[in-house]
Amino acid sequence: MTDTQRRQGASGAFGWSVLNTVLSRVGTLGIGIVLARVLGPESFGTFAVALVALMAVLSFNELGVSLAIVRWPGNPAKIVPTVNTISVVGSAVFCGAAVLAAPVFTAAVGDPEATDVIRILIISVFINGVVASPAALLQRNFREKTRMGIDQVNVWVGAAVSLALAFAGVGAMALAVGRIAGGLVAAVMFLRASPLPYRFGLDRDYLMPLLRFGLPLAGTSTIFFAIGYADQLTAGILLGTTGLGFYVLAFNLSSWPVSILAQPLRRVAPAAFSALQHDPSGLNGTLGAIYSVLLCAALPPMIFLAASSEPLINLIYGTAWLPAAAVLSWLVVAAFVKIICDLAYDFLVVLGRSGTVFMIQAGSLVVLIPALISGALLFGLAGLAAAQALVTGLVVLPCYLRRLHRNGVSFEVFARATWLPLLAALPVGALSLGFAHWIAVPFWALVAGGSTAVVVTSGLLWLRRDALKALRALGAPAATTEVELVP
């Protein structure tokens, strides 16, 4: 990485990443609307079953070693061949095992028709393992402009294939084949864009440090998956494929406004934290700046979305999808809190506390599973979503905040950044809820509420302009001394 690239740092990377995410989200939202109307809740639910299976395997696919490339203080060229070997061999094994286990999984969730969809979709596991190190190298070097081009090709190639097959009557398989098509093209682009030659190797001096670093992360990612997807598994098992389709639609909508900013921040944050890992003051200041901007940008639109769930789903997806409105409000809360937890996760991992975050996730899962089952059995989809939101907000988040405090992050950092966006966002929710009831035409109700959210968000970001300026300092040159990767 050259000095010029370092000076550009995460400031430029963040801008490209925001643009990438906006384009991807807008594109996938429009495509998702068409596909949801063409396929209907049942076929959409069948694909959701397959997607849950895919995410389960991806959670531990490359044994967590690719993140070591981002965090490695020295020259990553020394560890990349070993990372490639671990990633590709591991993903090949996991891919084969998932193909064999697909019928067992679909029988458990009561949708045997999803078996073939899973077997096609699971090819993504191997693709992911092959490109793990090139993607990590691009992230380390803040090359989000390159990443944007790859991601956009992935989205639009996959969309074109999926739409063509959906209109041809292929059903849920259209989404699976489209995803693989886009992934294959993106994989070729990742390999061509890799900052280092793609080579295999197995250096014993780095093998055990990489595994000591990666395995706790892989375990944590598995638990992270279980926390993130236990609600969908519960919906599929207890409420059926159609119920899962409603739930997944609401889940996707709930995360949309938050991820516009949170996903770019999560791409840039680990590398930025890593560059400052030997500067506690700068590290804490960066965390506070990211959290402040995240809250100001995401909280008002989040509350608007929660308050306007019924007119939104009615207008965009049609009356057939209205049952999803009952769960959207709760899932918006859960999605936003989860993004804060993810930011804390990245922070602790860079500090080498991967074992700590594993314990947080494992402990939270013990509380989450019985809560989800009880909520689903007692109150259906809405109860399931409420359980997810309450456990995420009242159990997982406090655990992360406590660990951050033990690692030198003051609670005052979060308190100062929270009070103003919260006070400003509450009237947005009240007005949006009123517009939803006062204005009979869904489109105009959404325009009124959305305009209020945009104005308030713009004002908050202007008031937090100092934090936005602080983000430009991200990506200062990292130390070049090598250290052992210790979990």
In order along its 487 residues, the chain shows pLDDT tens digits of 443 444 444 555 556 666 666 666 666 666 777 777 777 787 877 877 877 777 777 666 656 666 677 766 677 788 888 888 888 888 898 888 888 988 988 887 778 888 998 899 889 889 988 988 888 888 777 777 788 889 889 888 988 898 899 888 888 888 889 989 999 999 999 999 988 889 898 887 777 777 776 677 676 667 767 777 889 889 888 988 888 889 988 888 887 766 666 666 666 666 667 666 666 676 777 787 788 888 888 889 989 998 999 999 988 888 888 889 889 989 988 988 888 888 888 788 777 776 777 788 788 889 999 999 999 999 999 999 999 999 999 999 999 988 888 888 877 777 888 888 999 999 999 999 999 999 989 999 999 999 999 999 999 989 888 777 766 555 444 433 333 333 3
Which amino acid makes up residue 11? S
Cα 21 to Cα 152: distance, rounded to the nearest angstrom: 9
Classify residue 209 as left (phi > 0), alpha (psi -120 to 50) or beta.
alpha
Angle at 28 between CA 27 and CA 29, to 5 degrees: 90
Q: Which residue has tokens 């090359």?
A: 143
CB under 8 Å to 379, separation ≥6 — which residues?
Answer: 386
DSSP H or E stretch at residue 331: helix 325-350
CB under 8 Å to 463, separation ≥6 — which residues?
Answer: 296, 420
Ramachandran angles phi, psi of 474, nearest 5°: -65, 150
Distances (CA, A) of 120 to 52, 179, 244: 14, 9, 20
Cα 305 to Cα 256: distance, rounded to the nearest angstrom: 10
Classify residue 194 as left (phi > 0), alpha (psi -120 to 50) or beta.
beta
Cα 70 to Cα 274: distance, rounded to the nearest angstrom: 8
Please report the pLDDT score of residue 253 as a whole number. Answer: 84
Task: Retrieve residue 201's tokens.
Answer: 């190797």
The DSSP symbol for 479 reads: P
Note whether 171 and 39 are within 8 A (CB).
Answer: yes
Helices 204-275, 325-350: inter-axial angle, 10-degree rounding: 110
Please report the pLDDT score of residue 367 as a whole number. Answer: 92
Q: Provide DSSP, 434-454.
A: HHHHH-SSHHHHHHHHHHHHH
Note whether 304 and 428 are within 8 A (CB).
Answer: yes
Q: Which residue has tokens 């919906």?
A: 235
Please report the pLDDT score of residue 451 as a whole number. Answer: 95
Torsion on CA atoms 45, 48, 50, 53, rounded to nearest 10: -130
Which amino acid makes up residue 465? R
Please report the pLDDT score of residue 186 as a whole number. Answer: 92
Angle at 10 between CA 271 and CA 193, to 5 degrees: 75
Task: Retrieve residue 478's tokens.
Answer: 């990292």
Q: Taking the domains of the chain in order of start, what are their residue ranges? A: 3-471
DSSP H or E stretch at residue 119: helix 115-121
Cα 359 to Cα 349: distance, rounded to the nearest angstrom: 13
Alpha helices by DSSP H, 59-114: 66-71, 80-108
Q: Which among 164, 162, 154, 156 is positioned nearest to 27, based on CA atoms?
A: 156
Note whether 327 and 382 are within 8 A (CB).
Answer: yes
First to last CA, the chain: 26
Please report the pLDDT score of residue 262 as a whole number. Answer: 62
Q: Which among 38, 46, 57 is positioned nearest to 173, based on CA atoms?
A: 46
Task: Retrieve residue 15's tokens.
Answer: 């801008």
* Torsion sign (Cα): 225, 227, 228, 230: positive
CB under 8 Å to 391, separation ≥6 — which residues?
Answer: 364, 367, 368, 371, 372
Please report the pLDDT score of residue 37 as a whole number. Answer: 77
Cα 312 to Cα 324: distance, rounded to the nearest angstrom: 11
Rounded to two decimals, what is the model's pTM?
0.72
Note whether 406 and 414 are within 8 A (CB).
Answer: no
